[in-house]
Amino acid sequence: MRVVGISNRTRYWQHYCFSNPPEGYRYSRMVDIPWHVLHIERQFLAHTKLFFPLKPADLYHTYNSVVANHRPWVIEVESYLPRYKPMSERNPLFQWGLRRLADKDCKWLLFTSHHTLGLNRDKLAAAGVDPAKMTVIYRAVEQYLPGAKDPGRFTVLFAGNGFYRKGGVELLKAFQRLGRPDAQLWIVSNLEVDWGVFPSAEDIAWAERTIAEDPRITLHRGLPHAGLLQLMRKAHVFVSTTFSDPFNNTILEAMGAQLPVICSATSSLPEVVQEGRNGWLLPVAGVPSDAIADRIAEHVRQLMDDPALLARMGAESLAVVREKFDLRVRNQRLVALYDQALG
């Protein structure tokens, strides 16, 4: 059985995928300097892997990280390469990263979406990276049966610590405008201001006051991921009109729990949510906050008033997952790519 060496698994979907390898392969955690544990924030160190030769591996598979070792390797990418920003592209270390990506040791660049591939292809090709070794392979997500739902309540679910970047204010406005006493909103978030969207002090104060004063709203701070999955099984719809996200894996997890999704038509999300099939994609770039809120409220109201539509869209979310984001689909692709990389 061939061994694929991996680095740290920091995300839930990585644990899932790397705990279930494709047939004929097994994943093994390689030994390298754990910069993330040491809280080193320099992106060159965080996204460059030098594996110590303490464990055997036929091939390395990293996530966003360039490999320094002279062995066959593949890199899975959700945003841009090399992931060394804010380092200047003229920096010798940045140029070294480009050379490693162009080197024969690097067998595949596995982009997590066609959107991400499109962002990188031309620039990498200009740096000497062969476009023939760039391809798309989607993440895989676990699938769950729906749980028991509150028969007297329609539950809207939001999850994401980057509350303001992921459209939390717009959802609060929509929930207020919904005006339905039989609706409840579950928010799983630490209400952080992280990057991309920087709300005013007034907006932050309004959001926190609205959450605290509305008895229909429940805030879950610091909820473990397993707890979030259970809330997904009990909710009716997932809403996250994010303004900036490389992928937003939480939306994919909500689909795996058979929820319709209301999200934004940004980044890779049009490859995940299919308009009118398993949810809606709302334009958010340059759109006023109130207009986004109106659209969210309109679609939530549709689902509340049409149980058949709610059931159909939930079933279609699972169908989309099984078509594109199923572990069996991913592993079938990986077997072919790994086999080709190893000759």
What pLDDT, in 10s, does the model give residues 61-70? 999 999 999 9
**Percent composition of the chain: helix, strand, coil (DSSP 3-state, to 5):** 40, 20, 45
Task: State the angle between helix axes of 249-256 and 307-324 in degrees (0 to 180), rounded to the nearest 10.
Answer: 110
Q: What is the CATH number of domain 2-140+326-341?
A: 3.40.50
Spacing of C-alpha 6 from chain mean position: 19
Spacing of C-alpha 21 from chain mean position: 20
Question: Which three-class secondary structure state does DSSP give residue 75?
Answer: strand
Q: What is the pLDDT of residues 294-333, one digit of tens each?
A: 999 999 999 999 999 999 999 999 999 999 999 999 999 9
pLDDT of residue 179: 86
pLDDT of residue 48: 95
Which ranges constitute the DSSP H helices of the chain? Answer: 12-18, 43-46, 92-102, 114-126, 168-178, 201-213, 225-234, 249-256, 289-305, 307-324, 327-341
Residues of the chain with pLDDT under 70: 10
Task: Take residue 215 and report the two structure tokens written for it.
Answer: 């008895």
Instruction: Please tell me the distance from the alpha carbon of residue 277 to that of residue 314, in angstroms, as a whole number.
Output: 9
Spacing of C-alpha 200 from chain mean position: 26
Neighbours of 236 (CB within 10 A): 22
Q: Where does the chain hold its CATH 3.40.50.2000 domain(s)?
A: 154-323
Q: CATH assignment of 154-323, given 3.40.50.2000, 3.40.50.11540, 3.90.1150.10, 3.20.20.450?
A: 3.40.50.2000
pLDDT of residue 247: 77
Name the pTM for this structure.
0.91
